[in-house]
Amino acid sequence: MDKSKVKFGLFASVAVVLAACSSEPTDELSNSGSSNEGESAGGDELIVAVANDAISLDPHGSNDTASTHIRTNIYDKLVNHDENIELQPELAESFEQIDDLTWEFVLREDVTFTDGEPFNAEAVKINLERVIDPEVASPKAFMYDMIDEIEVVDEYTVHVTTEYPFAPFAMNLTHDGGGMISPKAIEEHDNGERNLELEPVGTGSFQLDEWNQGESVRLVRNDEYWGELPEIEASTYKIVPDQSTRIAMLNNDEAHVIDEIEPVNTSQIEMMDHADVETVESTRLNFIILNNDVEPFDQVEVRQAIAKAVDTDTIVEGIYEGYGRAADGPIPPGVFGHTEDLDKNDYDLEEAQELLASAGYEDGFSTTLYVRDNDQINIQTAEYIQDQLGQIGIDISIEQREWSALLSAMGEGEHEMAIAGWTTVTGDADNATYSVFHSDNKGANGNRSFFDHEEADRLLDEAREESDPEVREQYYAEFQQIVLDESPLVFIANDPFRVGVHENVEGFIPLPIGVFDISQVRLQTDQY
């Protein structure tokens, strides 16, 4: 086996790149319970060992990567990205923008949900209305709240009209929130007869067999799938928070795929005769959140001081061991709107000390930094930041929290500082910025720094309504400079995803949004 690192060149075209997702911050739920033993990784069932359990299997529900792992294979969308990250029809046979405000989708006629219900234009209308319904309160509503009207033209044609021109609309539909749920299942959910968080009904190539929360999620092939049937019959996602255990499972033929490999541990997998590390360029951005609503982080000089006191190059070379790159702003490379032509917060401890003094904190202050409890990269980063900021008089206490508890605390604004991140899942700057920075999205919707800047809001609003790509790019360039100047976040790294894969696995596709496409997986079982 070739032991060189596998790099996937996935950013062929900025206009169609799949750059979320949301994490959004990487919204992943960590659970202490896990299944460490299991069947040999052979046969017709793919075994995937993942660090975190899903939160919800409702595509209009939680906005976390662990849930998206599962939902991606249960739900189809109107449009999606192929393995080359080019925008393609999926449940829509074709689509086009027929005027500045209106999109037409012509649907496939051979699709049924796994409960036997037909997929048609009415199903599209029901789903899009649901995701933007204030009573549903979907955390993904911001992706679609520009929708003004959904018209069923005929059984398999639907027109979607937006309130204003919205260039990335089709790309937003590739988001997990664009997953199509059976209208019957939605009605059952509304009547209290079904819980879509636990009992999903989609049109995807797999369907839920069993979810033992905190232990495993098992999917089985949807034999009535409208497209090409997967070769594997099932896939089990085993919840294994401990990374060393996941690595041991790969080594012992108890797992085909393992996720969240820290750079320091990649050599363990590269030394295996039967497995290797696959590395995919990502649109992931890791950062330090500064709560702008609490003292002293309500002062821009304090935020700027922290930004200048953190040497991100050292973090990438030391903690990330050279994987990825030091982040230069809020929009990752490969995403439409990214620019490197900005005045950045270069590392300068002396200037950081001067900024603190000008804010009235020449003697520093004490604060608390939250970090996810099973994320060793972020824990090491937190310890480095603790040391660095100590040099300018900022005394940091590190508090490790389970991820769902950390998300809740940040959503409620209980934090002072925290380390998290965001993955841009559509390839467009709107997804990279609107949720994370717009004042309308403070708290759990994504703006966990509680950043509130009138000019930044205006630029984001105008950029999402502008049709001319060059004008949009200019808006985003101006916005990025405001963010760097105001420093609501301290940008650390654009980190690639690292996955351990058994040599018996073919056709496995790790995507830049941090989830796996298993629809084309083939297992070579002759060695078992």
Could you give phi then psi for residue 419, rounded to 5 degrees?
-110, 125
Strand (E) or helix (H) holding 20: none
Q: What is the largest CA-CA distance in the chain?
A: 70
Provide the b/e sequence for 286-308 (b: ≥16 CB within 10 Å).
bbbbbbbeeebbebebbbbbbbb
Query: Can you list the alpha helix ranges (DSSP code H) found in 30-118?
Result: 65-74
pLDDT tens readout for residues 113-168: 999 999 999 999 999 999 999 999 998 898 999 999 999 999 999 999 999 999 88
CB atoms within 10 A of CB 444: 18
Q: Are 131 and 117 in contact (CB under 8 A)?
A: no
Could you identify the residue written with the tokens 């200048």?
A: 308
**What's the length of the chain?**
528
Tens digits of residue pLDDT in 206-265? 999 999 999 999 999 999 999 999 999 999 999 999 999 999 999 999 999 999 999 999
Which residue, of 188, 215, 237, is where some domain finishes?
Answer: 188
Residue 452: per-residue pLDDT: 98
Model pLDDT, residue 146: 94
**Most confident stretch, 5-14, 101-110, 138-147:** 101-110
Let me know whether 241 and 262 are in one domain: yes
Beta-ladder partners of 212: 216
349 and 469 housed in the same domain: yes
Give yes or no: residues 317 and 227 share one domain.
no
Q: Is 20 a member of any domain?
A: no
* 214 inside domain: yes
216 plus 163 within the same structural domain = no
Summarised one tens digit per residue, pLDDT across range 297-346 is: 999 999 999 999 999 999 999 999 988 899 999 999 988 999 999 999 99
Give percent above pLDDT 90 in the chain.
Answer: 76
Predicted local distance difference test score (pLDDT) of residue 415: 97
CATH code assigned at 101 = 3.90.76.10
Quote the pLDDT of residue 139.
86
Confidence of residue 43 (pLDDT cuts 50, 70, 90): low
- Whether the predicted pLDDT of 27 surpasses 80: no
Tell which of 162, 188, 214 closes a domain: 188
Do 332 and 458 fall within a single domain?
yes
423: exposed, middle or buried (C-beta count within 10 Å: 0-12, 13-18, 19+)?
buried
Q: Give the domain range for residue 469.
A: 284-494
Secondary structure of 191-251 in the HEC alphabet? CCCCCCCCCCCCCCCEEEEEEECCCEEEEEECCCCCCCCCCCCEEEEEECCCHHHHHHHHH
Q: Is the dihedral of CA 185, 189, 191, 192 positive or negative?
A: positive
Same domain membership, residue 255 and residue 160: no
Given a cut of 80, is residue 12 above it in pLDDT? no
Tell me which residue of 420, 377, 373 sits closest to 260, measured CA to CA: 377
The strand pair at 257-258 and 365-372 is best described as unpaired
pTM of structure: 0.80
User: Is the Cβ–Cβ distance between 479 and 496 less than 8 Å?
Assistant: no
pLDDT value at 527 more than 70: no
Residue 2 lies in a domain: no
Name the 3-class secondary structure at 269: helix
Indicate whether 304 and 226 sit together in one domain: no
Any domain includes 511? yes
Q: Is 59 helix (H, G, I), strand (E, B) or coil?
A: coil
Helix, strand or coil, per DSSP, at residue 157:
strand
Fill in the amino acid letter for 269: I
Both 307 and 225 in a single domain? no
- Among 131, 132, 103, 127, smallest CA distance to 113 is for 127
Residues 142-145: contacts with CB under 8 Å, at least 24 apart: 142/434, 142/435, 142/440, 142/441, 142/445, 142/446, 143/172, 143/175, 143/177, 143/178, 143/431, 144/172, 144/177, 144/178
Statement to judge: residues 272 and 292 lie in one domain: no
Say if residue 325 is in the same domain as residue 418.
Answer: yes
β pairing state of 284-290 and 417-423: antiparallel
Tens of pLDDT along 255-279? 999 999 999 999 999 999 999 999 9
Question: Does 159 map to a domain?
Answer: yes
CATH code where residue 41 lies: 3.40.190.10
Query: How many domains would you assign to the chain?
Result: 3
Please provide the average confidence, as pLDDT, over all residues in the chain.
Answer: 89
Q: Is the pLDDT of residue 21 over 70?
A: no
Per-residue pLDDT reduced to its tens digit, 50-71: 998 999 999 999 888 889 999 9
Query: Shortest CA distance to 81 belongs to which of 512, 525, 385, 486?
Result: 512
- Mark whether 243 and 294 lie in a shared domain: no
**CATH code at 362?**
3.10.105.10
Contacts 24+ apart (CB under 8 A), 223-228: 224/112, 224/114, 226/108, 226/110, 226/111, 226/112, 228/519
Report yes or no on 1 lying in a domain.
Answer: no
DSSP characters over 273-334? SSEEEEEE---EEEEEEE-TTSTTTTSHHHHHHHHHH--HHHHHHHTSTT-SEE--SSS-TT
- DSSP, res 372: E
439-492 pLDDT per residue, tens? 999 998 889 999 999 999 999 999 998 989 999 999 999 999 999 999 999 999
Residue 316 lies in a domain: yes
Question: To which H or E segment does residue 482 belong?
Answer: helix 469-486
| Residue appearing with tokens 């018996």 | 504
Kindly state whether residues 420 and 316 are assigned to the same domain: yes
Cβ proximity of 316 and 493 under 8 Å = yes
CA–CA dist 445, 405 (Å, integer): 15
**Does residue 9 form part of some domain?**
no
pLDDT of residue 13: 30
